[in-house]
């Protein structure tokens, strides 16, 4: 079986993650310079501009005042929302590699739901910094799955098929098929492409027990288990246990939390960013 470094040598010349996406993810501050840089980078992709204009003029955001250019879109939707939407639109093509529904449903839909549901927790617990990062980190936490899928698409669909029909973990199945799992591969690839430190950190957190994760990693982990409990990705044998651990970690009311996946799942259906994904 190839090692992580041997896999990296296979992918280092591939544009799996577009450079423009890396630069957009690195725009950390909602200031005039970042605002201008975001506008400039988005303008280079006519399809993306069309999608963002469509959303900005939708009933969710338009308030009866049409917008016609990216500066108006960023002003109306907000810097962080537009940056998240750009990340969604650009990672959509990454998750679509292989052109089969199984990967998109199990990985892409779960990643989107995970990031948005994590934001709901942040709103409830007033975690402003984590809220700003949760969507892009939720999207990129499964980068290793994208890499393994890119390396051998037919092999990864076999991994997913076995994962969905047995009690084996995705990590065990990945190691059996590739010799490495998606967390190891994701950490190595994220470092290779110099992705922002918070993204690398939440990928690392995925393999850690809940108590050892960073606060952002716990937020994303909570979003992930709620996503699975609300039908976005397969519910695994440890999902309920992890949910209870996150309940304790975030001091959630245990009388109310049994219905939380259902409540958050309903909110997700009408979430404007989640609906934006359905147009991709």
Instruction: Name which of 89, 99, 219 is nearest 153 in CA terms.
Output: 99
Q: What is the CA radius of gyration of the chain?
A: 18
Place of tokens 């609300």: 230
Residue 56, CA distances (Å) to 31, 59, 177, 259, 277 in order: 21, 8, 43, 32, 14
**Contact criterion met (CB below 8 Å) for 194 and 22:** yes
Please state, for a pLDDT cut of 90, what percent of the chain lies above it: 39
Are residues 140 and 264 in contact, defined by beta-carbon separation less than 8 angstroms? no
Q: What is the mean pLDDT of residues 166-185?
A: 95
Q: Regarding predicted confidence, which is higher, 249 or 279?
A: 249
Which conformational region is residue 195 in: left (phi greater than 0), alpha (psi within -120 to 50 degrees), or beta? Answer: beta
> In this predicted structure, what is the pLDDT of residue 90?
74
Indicate whether 96 pLDDT > 70: no
Look up residue 231 and give its DSSP letter. Answer: T
- 């308030």: which residue's tokens? 63
Lowest-pLDDT choice from 4-8, 103-107, 202-206: 103-107
Q: What is the pTM of this model?
A: 0.85
Distance CA 108, CA 93 (A): 10
**Residue 153, pLDDT above cutoff 90:** no
Q: What is the rounded average pLDDT of the residues 60-66?
A: 74
Q: Could you give all domains of the chain from N- to C-terminal order, each with its CATH number?
A: 4-16+94-278 (1.10.3210.10)
Average pLDDT over residues 194-223: 95
Evaluate if residue 28 carries a pLDDT over 80: no
Here the contacts of 261-265 (C-beta below 8 Å, separation 24 or greater) are: 261/226, 261/229, 261/230, 262/230, 264/117, 264/120, 264/226, 264/230, 265/226, 265/230, 265/231, 265/232
Lowest mean pLDDT among 85-94, 95-104, 201-210, 213-222: 95-104
Percent helix, percent strand, percent coil in the chain, to nearest 5:
70, 0, 30
Copy the structure tokens of residue 257. Answer: 């939390």
pLDDT band for position 114 (cuts 50, 70, 90):
very high
Distance (Å, rounded) from C-alpha 249 to C-alpha 211? 8
């Amino acid at each position: 079986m190839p090692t992580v470094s041997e896999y990296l040598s296979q992918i280092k010349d591939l544009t799996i993650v577009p450079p423009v996406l890396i630069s957009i993810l690195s725009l950390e501050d909602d200031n005039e310079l970042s605002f201008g840089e975001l506008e400039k980078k988005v303008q280079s992709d006519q399809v993306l501009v069309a999608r963002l204009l469509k959303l900005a003029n939708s009933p969710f955001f338009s308030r009866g005042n049409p917008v016609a250019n990216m500066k108006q879109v960023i002003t109306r939707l907000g810097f962080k929302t537009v940056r998240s939407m750009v990340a969604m639109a650009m990672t959509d093509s990454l998750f679509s590699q292989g052109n089969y529904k199984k990967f998109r449903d199990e990985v892409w839909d779960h990643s989107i739901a995970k990031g948005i549901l994590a934001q709901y927790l942040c709103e409830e617990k007033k975690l402003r910094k984590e809220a700003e990062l949760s969507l892009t980190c939720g999207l990129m936490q499964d980068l290793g799955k994208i890499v393994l899928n890119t390396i051998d698409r037919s092999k990864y669909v076999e991994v997913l098929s076995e994962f969905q029909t047995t009690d084996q973990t995705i990590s065990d199945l990945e190691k059996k098929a590739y010799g490495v799992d998606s967390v190891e591969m994701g950490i190595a690839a994220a470092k290779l492409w110099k992705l922002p430190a918070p993204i690398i950190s939440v990928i690392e957190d995925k393999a850690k027990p809940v108590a050892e994760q960073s606060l952002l990693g716990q937020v994303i982990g909570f979003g992930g288990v709620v996503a699975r409990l609300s039908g976005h990705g397969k519910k695994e044998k440890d999902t309920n246990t992890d949910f209870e651990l996150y309940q304790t970690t975030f001091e959630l009311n245990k009388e109310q939390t049994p219905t939380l996946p259902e409540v958050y799942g309903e909110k997700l259906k009408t979430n404007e960013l989640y609906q934006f994904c359905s147009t991709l």
